[in-house]
Structure 1
C-alpha cells in the first residue's frame, strides 16, 4: 500500500520559487541591468561634472585662477641688518596662516604660497662710460621696479655674473648708501641694452647689475603671476626712443633697508590652485569655503594691508551650472528608461505569476491567506532583487568609482525595491480571477486611479515649472525631474488606452455584417482581451518617446551651441580693443575671406530725456550700412532722418518699451526707427541704441576710434587662421602698453571648445545609448507581453483550427491582436517624444550649457528624426516577428489538454 504524503501550505509556497526558473533568471538579469543603469547614471553625471570642473579651472590663466593677496607689505624702520630668516618670518607666517586655516577639500586644492614685494617704477639711468651714452637723445629709457622674491634662486638659472649680495644700506637713515646689487632677466637686459657690471642711477640709489638670469621653467605659473620679472614691456612710438618697463631682483636680506621703497610699492602673495583633486560632489563645499576665506582675509604684520581675490569661485559656479543643466537633461532621459524598466519588470513578473497561477490557486484553496501569498512572492522578489542589485551596483561602482550623493544610492535601491513590491501586488486575489476585461468600460475604481494619475502629472508639471531645476542637486539626480515625465507619460498612456478601443468597437459593429469570422474575432479580442495591457503599452510608448526625445534634444543642443556662440559674439569674429585706428579697420576689411566689417564705438551713460523720465543708455556709433552687411537682420539707418530733423535710432527692446515721444539726446530730437532683441549686439547690456555715424554731428558728439569690430567671413574661409591674422593687424596698430587689451574671438573656436567639453561629449554619447537601451527594453517588454497572452490566444487559435481555420487565418488573428495596440503606442510615443522637449525648454535653462543670452529654440533635424523613426519601425518589425514566433510554439493539442485539467 502506497502511503501518500500530505503537502502543507508552507511546502506549496516553497514550490513557487521552483516553478518557471527560466523566467525568474530573466527577471534577475533585468533587475541587475536596471540597477546597473540606475547606479552608473549618477556616477557618470558626477564624473562628467568633475571633468568639466577640472578642465574649466585648468584652462583659467593663473593670475585669475589662483588665490591672490594684493596690497602693501608691512615694514618698519630699523630692520636693516636683520637676519633674513627673522626679516621675512612675520610676513611668511601671515601668508602661511591663511593657507593653513583653509579647510578640506579647499585646502587640498591649494599649493604652497609664494610672495613678491615690488617698489613703484622709477627711471633707471645708466651712468659712467657706456656705448649707450654716445647718443643720449636716442637712448632707450628704462623704468625699473625693485623686487624681493624669497624663492627666486630656485626658479632661475644664472647665465651671467653672480647673484646680488645683501645690501648694507638703509633708506630710512641719512647718509651715503653703498650701491645696491640687482639681477634682471636676459630679456629685460637685452631690451634695455644693459649688461652685467653696469651701474644705474635710481633716484637716490645706485644699482649695480651683478647677474642675468633665465627662468628654469618659463611656463610655470609663477612667471604668469609676476611676468615683469621675466619679460619686459616695451613701448614704441614713431620718432621717439623706446621705453622699457621691467623689474630687477634684489637679495631678500636687502628687504630691511628698503622699507621706504617697498612699503610704497605693491605686495603680491598667491596660493597656486590645482583642480586635479576637485570632485563635482565637493564643488558646493569648496565654493562656500572659498567665500568664507576671502571674507576673512589676511592680517599682515606691521600695518600691511592686502585684499584677497580670485575668480575661481565664479568659474566653479559657471561649471556647476553647466553640470546641473546636463544632469537635468540626463535625468529626463533616465526617466523614460526608468519607466520602461518598471514596465518590463511588471511584464516579467506577470509572466511568472501567470505561469504559477495553478499553484497559487491550489495554495489559496489549501488555506493560504492573501497575506501569506503576498509575503511568499514578495520574499521571492527580495531573493531575486537583492543579489542582482548587489551585482549591478558593484559593477557600476567598479567601472566608475566616482563619489556620488544620496541619489547615487537611492535610485538603484528604489529600482531594486520595485521588484518585491510588484511580486507582492501580483499575488493579490484579483490577479488570480479569470475575468473578462473591457478596457472601454471604465469602473469607478479605474476612473479614480486614472484621474489620480492625471492629477499627479499636472501637479508635477506645475511644481517643476515654478521651481525649475533644483540648484542644490548639482551633479546629482533631481527626483522631480525623473518623476514628472514618468507621470506625464503614464497619464497620456492611460487616456490613450481608454479611447483606443472606440475605433475598434465601431469597426467591430461593421464587421458583424460581414462574413470574416477571423476579422470579427480579432477585433473583439483586441477590445475585450487585449494582448497589450497597460504595462506593455507603457513600455512601448516610453521606448518610442525616448528615441524621439533623444533625437530632438540632440539636434537642439547642437544647434544651440552654434547659435549661442554666434549670439555671444554678434558675428563670425569679434575684436575688442581700447581703440582701433582706421588703418587697422581697413586692413581687416581687405583680408581674403573677410566678407564684411563693421566698426562700433561704444559711448556709455548717454542721457535721453523724454516727457516721462530721463533714461540712461549705451550709445553705439557705427556705419549702419556696413553693420547691415555683417548683420542682415539689423536695418541701415543712414538717410532715415525724418522731416523734423530727428535722429533715427535702432534701440534694444528694453529701450523701445521705456522711450516715449519727444525724446532728446542733448538738444537733438531722436526717434525710434526700429528695435532689436537686447542680445542682438554683444557687450552693451540690455539698454542700448545704435546711431549711424553720419548722424553723430547732430548729437554734438566728437567722433573717435572704434573699440569693437564685427567681422563676417565668406563661405569656406578658415575662421581660426583669419582670427589670428585679424588679431595681428589690430595688435600691431595699438600701442604696446595697450596690446593686452586686444581680444579676438572667433565663433568657430567657441563652438569647437564647447563641442570638446566633457559635458557635451558625455551628453551626445548618452542620448544614443539611452535610445538604444529603450528600444532593447521595449523588445523585451513586447516579448514578455506576448508570452503572458499566449495561453488565451492559443485557446482561440485551437478553436479556430478545430472548426477548419488554416495557418493564414491564424496569422491574421495574431495580426489583429498585435497591430492596433502597437500602432496606438507608436503614435502616442511619438507625440510624447515631441512633448517632452517642450517640457525641457520650459523648466531647464539651457543657456549655461550652450551659451548665449537667450534660451535656444527647439530644433527638429529631419535627418536625425528620420533615423529615429526608422529605428522605431525596425524595432516594431522585430517585435512582430518575435510575437509570431512565440505564438507558433503553442499547439492546439497542448492548449486543449491544459484546459481539461
Structure 2
C-alpha cells in the first residue's frame, strides 16, 4: 500500500469520529489549563508569603544602609556639582550588584548629617527641650514643597565673620519645637557653634517616598521620654550645595548611603537567591570617599534585616510548592490515564480502518506514524488551547508551566497507535474471558516488575534523611504506592467476583446471575477506574492528614511562643495583683517570672551582659504542661547549697563551653540549656530559681511577666481580658489562639489548603470521568446484552443494575486499599517538607491523623462513587440496544 493512499485513508478515518476526537481535544485542554495554571498560582502564593514576611519588620531595617563617620568628599572640579563624586560612587556600587538583587534595590540615596544638638534661640526665649540634626540632601528639592518661606541658600562659612546657615523644617517640626520663621538658633557643636535661621516650612511631595523611612524625623519629630521631660528630635535641612563648606563641622558629620528595597519586585522564586546575595553584599566593604573620618580610610558596610525575612519566606514558599507538588502527583497520573483512555476510545474507531489498510499491504510503521500524528495533533491542539488560556487568565512561569501541557500533548500520540494496532491484531474474543497462558504469563511478569520497582522506590524514599526536600525519588513515591494498590485491587477482583457469583447462583433474579458473570469476564481490566478510585481516597486522606498536621503544628507553635495557655505582662506586678491573678476564674495555676535585668557577668576573664530571670520550678512546670519547647527544668534548679544552678540560652552555653559564670559575685553553673524561652529575650540569658534570683538581683526582684494555665472549658480570651483589666495601664496579654490565627492567615497556609482541596476536587471529577468512559467503552456490548435480555422479557430501561455490577466491584475494592495508601503517604512524604518554619516553630510538626477523618473519607467516597455510577449510567444508556445490535462482533470486541 502506498504512502499516499495510506494518508488518504487516514484522513477519511479522522472524519468518521469527530465527537470522540473532540472529547480528546477538550479533555487535553482542560487538563493542560489546570497543569499550566497551578505553577503560576503557586508562584503568586510564594511571592505573597515572602512579601508578608518582609512586612512584619519595620521598613527602615529592610533597606540596605551604610553609615561612615565624616562628610562625603565633594567633587573637586571647578563649577561641578559637589555631590557628583558621592552620587557617582553610590551609583557604581548599585550598578555592580548581581542580578536579581540590582533589580529589587532602588537608586541609592546619599545624605550628610551633622550630629543632633540642642537648638537654643538667640536671643534666648523659652523653647521646648530639643535636639536638632542638620542634614544635607542633594535630592531635597524633589522631595519637599515649600508652603511658607523659601528654600535655604548656601552660606560661605569661610568668609563670613558670623556665618548664619539657612535651614528649613517640616510644619510639624516647627510647631513641636516652637520655632517660627526667621528665628535664629544656635547649635552647640564642639568645634564651632552653628547659628541657623529658619527660612522655610515644607511638606512632603510624597509622604510615602522611601527617603522619609531613613529620615523620619525630617517629617515627623519624635519625642524621647526618658529622663522626665520630653525631648523633641527633629531634622532641619540646609542647602545641599554647602557640602564643600562644612569642613569646620566635619568632625560632627556622618555620611549615610542607602538603597530602598522595592518589596513589590521581590518574588517568591527569587527570595532565597536574594537573601544570599544580600548577605554577600553586606559582608564586603565598598569604597567611598569621605573626609574627617580619621587616619584610616573606611569602607561602606551595608546592613539589612531583609535576608532573615527572605529566607523565612522562601522556606515557607518551598513548603507550599512541596506540599502542592506531592498532592498533584496522583491527580496528574489519573489525568494522564484519562487522556490515554480517551485515546483508546478513538483507537477503537480506527480498528476497522487499520485492518483494511493491513490487508492492502500497509506497513506497521506507516500505520503507527499516521495514528501517532493524529493523536499528537489532537493532544497538541488541546494542550495549546489550555496552556494559552492559562497564560492569559492566570500567568506563565516558564518551564514549570509547560510540563503538564507537554505530557498531555504526547499521551494521545502514544495511546492511539498502541491501542489501535493491538486491537487490530487481536483475534480472540475477550468478552468471554479468554486469556491464553502466554497472556497470563505476560501480565504476571508485568505486574511483578511494577511491584518490584515500586517497592524499591518506596524503600529508598523511606531511608532518605529527613528534610532533604523534593527529589525525583520522592515524587515517584505516590505513583509507586498507587501502582502497588492497582495491582492488588486488580488481582482481587476476579476471585471476589467468582465468590459472589457462587453465592448468588441459587438466586432467582436474572441480574444476580448475569451481573457478576459479565463483570468477571469483562473486556478489559478497569485500570483507569481503579487508579482514579485509589487516588481519590488516598488524596482525601493525604489532604486531611496534611491539613491536620499543619493545623496541629500551628497550635503547638503558638502555645510554645506564648509559653503557656496565656502570658500576661505589665510594667510592674505587685504581690496583691499576683494573688488576684491566681484567684481569677478560669486560672488553674500561675508562674511569675522574676527579674529580667541585664547585668554584667564574667567567665574566665571574659565579660559580657546576661539577662537574669527567676522562676519557681514547680509553678513553671504546672503551667507548661504539654507545651512544645517548654523550658527544661533540671532537679538542681533552685536547690540550696553550692553554686547556683541555671538554665542558659544555647548561645550563652556555647560561649561558656562548660565553664561557670559569675554575676554580681555569685557563681552560676549551667545545668541545662535551651534555644529559646517564651518569657526570655533573644540572646544571652540565665533562668535561675526564685531564691537564687533574689541573691543576684536583690531581696525583692521585679515581676513583669506571669504565665497562666487556663482551666479546661475556660476561654483564654476572657481570662486575658480579666487579667489585663486587673493589671491596669500598660498590661498586655499573649493568647496562643491569636498567634495561631496570625500564622494561619499567612498566604502560604491558605495556598496549601487551597491546593489540597483543589487536588481532591480534581481527582473526584476525574473519578466520575473515568467511570463514565469505562462504561461508555462497554456500551455496545452492554446494549447487545440488554437487547437480548429484553427479548427474553427483561424490562427495558433498567441498565443501572448491569452498570453497577461492571464498576461497583473495582470501586468498592479500591476503598480499603485506598485507605491504606492514604495513611502510607504522609509518613513517607511530609517529613521531606520543612514544616517547622511553615507552622512558625523550631521543630518539625508531628503527623496528626484525626480518627474521624477515615469515616468522613469513606462516607464521602461512597457518596461520590454512587453519583459517579448514576451519572455514568445515564451517559452510557444513550448507546441503545438497537445501535449495539447493528455492530459486528469484531467492532464490539475491540
Give the shorter-chain TM-score range: 0.7 to 0.9
Gaps of 5+ in 1: 1-6, 133-139, 610-615, 732-742
- How far does residue 378 in structure 1 lie from its aligned partner after superposition? 1.3
Q: Where in structure 2 are the equivalents of 1:214-225 lying within 5 Å? A: 215-216=203-204, 217-225=206-214
- How far does residue 702 in structure 1 lie from its aligned partner after superposition? 7.9
- How far does residue 542 in structure 1 lie from its aligned partner after superposition? 1.4
Q: Which residue of 1 aligns with 2:294?
A: none
Secondary structure of the structure 2 residue equivalent to 1:347: helix
2:312 is aligned with 1:312? no
2:798 is aligned with 1:817? no
> Is 331-340 or 96-105 further displaced after alignment?
96-105
Aligned equivalents of 2:22 and 2:438: distance in 1? 37
Aligned equivalents of 2:727 and 2:174: distance in 1? 28
Q: Which residue of 2 aligns with 1:568?
A: 561
1:345–1:291 CA distance, 2 compared to 1 (3 A): same
Secondary structure of the structure 2 residue equivalent to 1:150: coil
Q: Which residue of 1 aligns with 2:239?
A: 251
TM-score (ref. length: structure 1) = 0.79
Q: Which residue of 1 aligns with 2:392?
A: 398
> Is 222-231 or 509-518 further displaced after alignment?
509-518
Say whether the 8 Å CA contact 1:162–1:210 is kept in structure 2.
no
> Is 872-881 or 555-564 further displaced after alignment?
555-564
Q: Which residue of 1 aligns with 2:37?
A: 40
Q: Which residue of 1 aligns with 2:293?
A: none
Question: Which of 401, 409, 412 pairs up with 1:408?
Answer: 401
Q: Which residue of 2 aligns with 1:70?
A: 67
Say whether the 8 Å CA contact 2:461–2:828 is kept in structure 1.
no
Q: Which residue of 2 aligns with 1:612?
A: none
Q: Which residue of 2 aligns with 1:557?
A: 550
Per-residue deviation, residues 529-575 of structure 1 (Å, max 9, x unmatched): 37652222112221333333333333443444444333334357768
1:112–1:416 CA distance, 2 compared to 1 (3 A): same
Aligned residues: 851
Per-residue deviation, residues 410-469 of structure 1 (Å, max 9, x unmatched): 331122111111112213436752343679999443333333333443454456563778
Aligned equivalents of 1:545 and 1:24: distance in 2? 32
Q: Where in structure 2 are the equivalents of 1:464-475 lying within 5 Å? A: 466=464
Q: Which residue of 1 aligns with 2:134?
A: 146
Question: Which of 237, 255, 272 pairs up with 1:267?
Answer: 255
- How far does residue 779 in structure 1 lie from its aligned partner after superposition? 0.8
2:615 is aligned with 1:622? yes
1:873–1:218 CA distance, 2 compared to 1 (3 A): same
Aligned equivalents of 1:843 and 1:80: distance in 2? 57
- How far does residue 143 in structure 1 lie from its aligned partner after superposition? 4.1
Aligned equivalents of 1:64 and 1:629: distance in 2? 39
2:182 is aligned with 1:200? no
2:527 is aligned with 1:541? no
1:896–1:112 CA distance, 2 compared to 1 (3 A): closer
1:650–1:632 CA distance, 2 compared to 1 (3 A): farther
Say whether the 8 Å CA contact 2:45–2:748 is kept in structure 1.
yes
Aligned equivalents of 2:18 and 2:368: distance in 1? 19
1:273–1:720 CA distance, 2 compared to 1 (3 A): farther
1:439–1:225 CA distance, 2 compared to 1 (3 A): farther
- How far does residue 851 in structure 1 lie from its aligned partner after superposition? 1.5
Q: Which residue of 2 aligns with 1:168?
A: 156
1:103–1:842 CA distance, 2 compared to 1 (3 A): closer
Q: Which residue of 1 aligns with 2:414?
A: 421
Q: Which residue of 2 aligns with 1:135?
A: none
1:321–1:642 CA distance, 2 compared to 1 (3 A): closer
Aligned equivalents of 1:545 and 1:721: distance in 2? 44
2:106 is aligned with 1:118? no
Q: Which residue of 1 aligns with 2:347?
A: 353
Q: Where in structure 2 are the equivalents of 1:289-368 lying within 5 Å? A: 290-291=278-279, 293-295=281-283, 297-302=285-290, 303=297, 305-368=299-362
Per-residue deviation, residues 505-550 of structure 1 (Å, max 9, x unmatched): 4445555687777545544444443765222211222133333333
Q: Which residue of 2 aligns with 1:92?
A: 87
Gaps of 5+ in 2: 291-296
Secondary structure of the structure 2 residue equivalent to 1:276: helix
Question: Which of 119, 138, 163 pairs up with 1:178?
Answer: 163
Secondary structure of the structure 2 residue equivalent to 1:87: coil
Question: Which of 27, 31, 55 pairs up with 1:30?
Answer: 27
1:697–1:841 CA distance, 2 compared to 1 (3 A): same
2:712 is aligned with 1:715? no
Aligned equivalents of 1:726 and 1:274: distance in 2? 44
Say whether the 8 Å CA contact 1:64–1:310 is kept in structure 2.
yes
Aligned equivalents of 2:740 and 2:640: distance in 1? 46
> Is 514-523 or 871-880 further displaced after alignment?
514-523
Q: Which residue of 1 aligns with 2:689?
A: 692
- How far does residue 285 in structure 1 lie from its aligned partner after superposition? 5.6
Say whether the 8 Å CA contact 2:557–2:840 is kept in structure 1.
yes
Question: Which of 763, 778, 783 pairs up with 2:772?
Answer: 783
1:109–1:663 CA distance, 2 compared to 1 (3 A): closer
Aligned equivalents of 1:547 and 1:325: distance in 2? 19
Aligned equivalents of 1:459 and 1:686: distance in 2? 47
1:439–1:624 CA distance, 2 compared to 1 (3 A): farther
- How far does residue 828 in structure 1 lie from its aligned partner after superposition? 2.3
Secondary structure of the structure 2 residue equivalent to 1:308: coil
Aligned equivalents of 2:562 and 2:836: distance in 1? 15
Secondary structure of the structure 1 residue equivalent to 2:107: coil
Say whether the 8 Å CA contact 1:389–1:412 is kept in structure 2.
yes
Aligned equivalents of 2:308 and 2:162: distance in 1? 48
TM-score (ref. length: structure 2) = 0.80
- How far does residue 51 in structure 1 lie from its aligned partner after superposition? 3.3
Secondary structure of the structure 2 residue equivalent to 1:417: helix
Q: Where in structure 2 are the equivalents of 1:608-647 lying within 5 Å? A: 620-624=613-617, 627=620, 631-633=624-626
1:808–1:114 CA distance, 2 compared to 1 (3 A): closer
Question: Which of 329, 344, 369 pairs up with 1:375?
Answer: 369
Q: Give me the CA root mean square deviation.
A: 5.0
Aligned equivalents of 1:515 and 1:161: distance in 2? 107
1:518–1:298 CA distance, 2 compared to 1 (3 A): same
Per-residue deviation, residues 614-660 of structure 1 (Å, max 9, x unmatched): xx9997522456645754446998999899868997969999x99xx
Aligned equivalents of 1:440 and 1:696: distance in 2? 85
Say whether the 8 Å CA contact 1:723–1:745 is kept in structure 2.
no
Say whether the 8 Å CA contact 2:63–2:258 is kept in structure 1.
yes
- How far does residue 91 in structure 1 lie from its aligned partner after superposition? 1.7
Say whether the 8 Å CA contact 1:549–1:834 is kept in structure 2.
yes
> Is 505-514 or 263-272 further displaced after alignment?
505-514
